[in-house]
Amino acid sequence: MEKTLKELAEYVGGMVVGDPTVKIIGVMSIDDAQEGHITFISNEKYIKKIHHTKASAIIVSPKLKTAKGNLLVCNNPYLAFAKLVELLMYKKPAYIKGIDDSAKIAKTAIIGKDISICAYVTIGENVRIGNRVVLYPCVHIGDHCTIGDDTVIYPNAVIYNDTVIGNRVAIHSNTVIGSNGFGYAPDGEGYFKIPQVGIAIIEDDVDIGANTTINRAVLGETVIRKGTKIDSQVVISHNVEIGENSLIVSQVGIAGSAKIGKHVTIAGGAGIVGHIQIGDNVTVGGYSGVINDIPSNETYLGAPALPIKRMRKCYVIIERLPEMREHIKTLEKRIEQLEKRDSAPQNTQSQKKNGS
């Protein structure tokens, strides 16, 4: 697809600085862009690369509208970049409508219109599948599940019994939803498995990456609220609730009964202990360990996680620990020397008294 810079600006609601007639055929990173490409800068540390890129145009914020070259100026360059990738380069998969002969579907299942059920899919009893749903090969849908309209489930994903999945949800390969949580009661000799009789609910417009696990509740519900995006290799335990439009990055682990607010970002590798509450609009830094509640509108970092300003001060101290240790050793030696010096006259005086 080919578009002029003016057409692209109109599409994303931006403004052209430079030649509005320049032809754009694709989107590329600022380092790899060639003639015919449009690139973007959303991070100030890449500003110097404006002068070296071969791109025909650059998406920038209003702060950079005086830069040289053909510019598409908009308030959110990263969002504009995403929209132009979708417009110019994304090819929506062509799904084959219908049900593959190898699929196993229970007679009590209710299947919507315009669906694509691929090879070796299994669908259990009393399942409800919405319209325009796509189930890739080897997907398993357990008994009594509900799958909303326009949902896509990729190969080898497993949806356990009684799970509820909303509209326009994407679930990627090898993800498991509704599996048993890690619940055991000590019985004096070992551990008694606690039956996990609750359910898992995934609301509308949720994206879930590959190899992620979302456990069902012990009692009640594990809930992922609408618009939330979950990366690959994330573990969400029983009875967790994650609020609307949150971002959970790869390798995050959230323990049982934790409550996460709206618009929360939890960066990669962070761990959240169970039975705590994280407020709305919170950011948790990568590899942080959250062991206490976090109020709304805060950024926490570190293990154990602390408010970011306090943790930065801690990091400064940690970086200086080797020097501080040497300084303390020097002070200890000086103190020891002073103590010896102070004790010497006292010994002399006592000897004189004894001699007299």
As annotated, the active-site residues are 238
Question: Do β-strands 170-171 and 191-193 pair in parallel, antiparallel, or remain unpaired?
Answer: unpaired
Count Cα neighbours of 272 within 13 Å in the Cβ-side half-sphere.
36
The CA R_g of the chain, rounded to the nearest whole Å, is 30
Structure tokens at 71: 């510019």
CA 64 to chain centre: 29
Who contacts 118 (Cβ-Cβ below 8 Å, separation ≥6)?
96, 100, 103, 134, 135, 136, 137, 139
Nearest Cα residue to 176 out of 199, 157, 163:
157
Identify how many contiguous H helices and E strands the chain contains and give both numbers: 4, 40
- The dihedral through the CA atoms of 235, 228, 306, 329 has a sign that is positive
| Three-state secondary-structure class, residue 146 | strand
Nearest Cα residue to 14 out of 68, 79, 88:
79
CA distances 246 to 96, 169, 239, 283, Å, are 33, 15, 17, 10
- The dihedral through the CA atoms of 300, 304, 309, 315 has a sign that is negative
Structure tokens at 322: 């080797």
φ, ψ of residue 98 in degrees (nearest 5) = 115, -170
